[in-house]
Chain A
């Protein structure tokens, strides 16, 4: 009784503040929490007539079907998701750091301003626009690359019908779009570095290259570790917009670049709500586990306990 009273008292006292929280919370409840009821579909054989909670309960059947059987695409899309995200993480870390370090070395206000604007620009483009750019490069008849191949005496390649290239193209587009954005994060980290360290090293006769290796890189390591951990926490989540914006519904390339998210979407109509909900649930649970673990590790790193 006493506890309930304090709750009511608090709600009354700060009633205006709680009212201000309400619209945002309603949006979250409608679009994040209410859908969680639909997870039940993963354990049933959903049909429209009986609804979510009236359909026949089938236990883990849908999960088994995803991993072992049926279409055979289950393990394949998991592999694609992990592959694209893993290499996206590696290159998407390496290049932004390279850029941030180099950017620290160059001088000239206008040079810096123009180059940074250029490198940041892809972040502002939607994946559909990136898809149009990829098309401009790889279109069979008019694409830039095929013209280049032709003019140097090579055979042209029908890119949009050859699946083996597309994981690479997608990872490249991913790194291209996010490079400028991520380099800004590293530059933000670098502005906090203690400049007296560099002065001292300079007095001791260390050249710029040695300073980068022995001062900048060790100092930037915690940021790299934390960002990587956060990315690993989301490694089971493919970027739907990226895949769909670039490859669209091209059936020849489909199974090469299908990630869990796009597979769920395209299987929704052919394989039904129950099966695809099960896949989504598997993804969410893996995500929950990995995010929790990586957050714990990231906190440790932040406290200086250190991973390395």
Chain B
């Protein structure tokens, strides 16, 4: 079984190719990020002269200092919006999702399949963007409100099914004995199910948090007020101005008036946007892997 790999045997080549492929893809995934990082720490005139590169050119923190001196308030405000909707949204989403997942994981619940179907149907058929937009704006009046950034993403049916898988793994006998001791379902949910499924809560919570952190679609739909821009939408606006000018859509005369952010600024804002994810990444990664594997095995 543990045959020794001879040099240049078929096994050797398989191994060599495997190492190469893995290393190559890993570099492909990291390279752009390192480039963004080093440009954000470069001197702008050098970048204009020599283009983007993987090594910081004339290393300087000026861009970040400039950013916080000039548009610091704007950025901090957007940061605040993003952090706010991420925290409030994630907590609310976890509560809503875990409650329904817990309920339909109970075999005693007669209509649990009906409820699951009501949820499932929204995945296979939707009204489409325009009716959704219409009712959100005209009936619910979500234009320029923080509710517009949270409510539409509050409940994900995928996450519910993922969570149900975890709840179903809890032995029913635990609930039964609690019931005999006089506990009602709210108490069972809060005192038994949730503590037993802590990892699941964390996994689903992180998935929601990532979704709220990265969201700019809701902002694109509902938010016109600059004070309510989340971070991602702030970055989107910087980039789309650049995009419009380099496509030549805005005549060069007008472009001269429209002050373009420097190259290094764009990359610095990008870094600021993904900063917290990078710091948390080593700790949160395994929960995502766990969640994906649980979801995948279920299929």
A residues bordering B, Cβ < 8 Å?
10, 14, 16-18, 20-21, 23-25, 27-28, 30-39, 41, 52, 95, 98-99, 101-106, 111, 114-115, 117-126, 128-129, 131-133, 135-137, 139-144, 146-147, 158, 160-161, 176, 179-181, 184-185, 187-189, 192, 199, 202-203, 207-210, 212, 223, 226-227, 240-241, 244-245, 247-253, 261, 264-265, 268, 273, 276-277, 279-281, 283-284, 287-288, 291-292
Chain B residues with CB under 8 A of A189 = 296
Q: Is B25 interfacial (CB 8 A cutoff)?
A: yes
Q: Please pick, from B213, B216, B232, B247, the residue contacting A252 in the complex, using a CB distance under 8 A.
A: B247
In the bound complex, do residue A277 and residue B131 qualify as a contact, i.e. CB atoms below 8 Å apart? yes
Q: Which bucket holds chain B's interface residue count?
A: 35 or more
Using known A-B contacts A117-B281, A139-B246, determine if residue A202 contacts B18 with beta carbons closer than 8 Å.
no
Q: Known contacts A132-B267, A136-B36; is A114 also within 8 Å of B220 by CB?
A: no
Q: Is the interface of A mostly helix, strand, loop or mixed?
A: helix
B123 to chain A: closest residue by CB: A291
Provide 27 A-B residue pairs closer than 8 Å at the C-beta atoms, listed in order of the A residue.
Answer: A14-B106, A20-B99, A20-B186, A21-B115, A24-B100, A24-B119, A25-B115, A34-B139, A35-B127, A102-B18, A104-B18, A105-B18, A117-B285, A119-B26, A120-B289, A128-B235, A132-B235, A142-B51, A184-B289, A185-B296, A207-B9, A210-B10, A226-B299, A244-B220, A253-B247, A280-B131, A281-B127
Bound complex: CA of A132 vs CA of B238, how far in Å?
Answer: 10
Does B128 lie within 8 Å of A280, measured CB to CB? yes
B244 touches A16 (CB 8 A): no
Check A17–B263 contact: CB distance below 8 A. no
Is there an interface contact between B242 and A161, defined as CB atoms closer than 8 Å? Answer: no
Determine the chain A residues whose CB is within 8 A of the CB of B160 once the complex forms. 24
Instruction: Using known A-B contacts A124-B281, A248-B236, determine if residue A292 contacts B124 with beta carbons closer than 8 Å.
Output: yes
Q: What distance in Å separates the Cβ of A16 from its nearest Cβ neighbour in chain B?
A: 4
Are the C-beta atoms of B126 and A176 separated by less than 8 Å?
no
Q: Which residue of B lies closest to A281 (CB)?
A: B128
The answer to whether B99 touches A23, judged by C-beta atoms less than 8 angstroms apart, is yes
**B125 close to A (CB within 8 Å):** yes
- Given A16-B185, A20-B102, A132-B270, output 18 extra A-B contacts at Cβ < 8 Å: A17-B109, A23-B100, A28-B122, A35-B135, A52-B134, A101-B18, A103-B18, A106-B19, A115-B26, A129-B274, A240-B217, A244-B220, A250-B244, A250-B247, A252-B249, A283-B128, A288-B125, A291-B124
Complex-state Cα separation, A85 to B29, whole angstroms: 21
Selected contact of A102 from candidates B17, B95, B189, B267, CB within 8 Å? B17
Chain B contacts with A in 95-152, Cβ cutoff 8 A: 95-97, 99-100, 102-104, 106, 108-111, 115, 118-119, 122-136, 139-140, 151-152
* Cβ distance B176 to chain A, nearest Cβ, rounded Å: 15
Collect the chain A residues with CB atoms within 8 Å of residue B270's CB: 129, 132-133
**How close is A294's CB to chain B, nearest CB, in angstroms?**
10
The answer to whether B50 touches A147 (Cβ under 8 A) is yes
Q: Are A161 and B248 in contact (CB under 8 A)?
A: yes
B68 CB-CB contact with A under 8 Å:
no
Also in contact, A20 and B15, with CB within 8 A (given A37-B131, A180-B29): no
Contact A136 B32 (CB under 8 A): yes
Distance from A44 Cβ to chain B, minimum over Cβ atoms (Å): 12
A35, A104, A117, A120 pick with most chain B CB within 10 angstroms? A35
CA distance A292 to B125 in the complex (A): 10
Cα distance, A288 to B124, chains bound together (Å): 6
Closest to A9 in B: B110
A-B pairs, top 5 by smallest CB distance, nearest first, are: A280-B128, A38-B131, A147-B51, A126-B214, A105-B18
What CA separation (Å) do A291 and B106 show in the bound complex?
A: 28
Interface string of B68-100 (1 = CB under 8 A from A): 000000000000000000000000000111011
Flag B246-276 by CB within 8 Å of A: 1 or 0 each: 1111000000000000010011001001100
Nearest Cβ on chain A to B51's Cβ, whole angstroms:
4
| Segment 172-193 of B: residues with Cβ below 8 Å from A | 184-186, 189
* CB atoms of B155 and A28 under 8 A apart: yes
Q: Is there contact, CB below 8 Å, between B247 and A10?
A: no
- In the bound complex, CA of A284 to CA of B124 (Å): 8
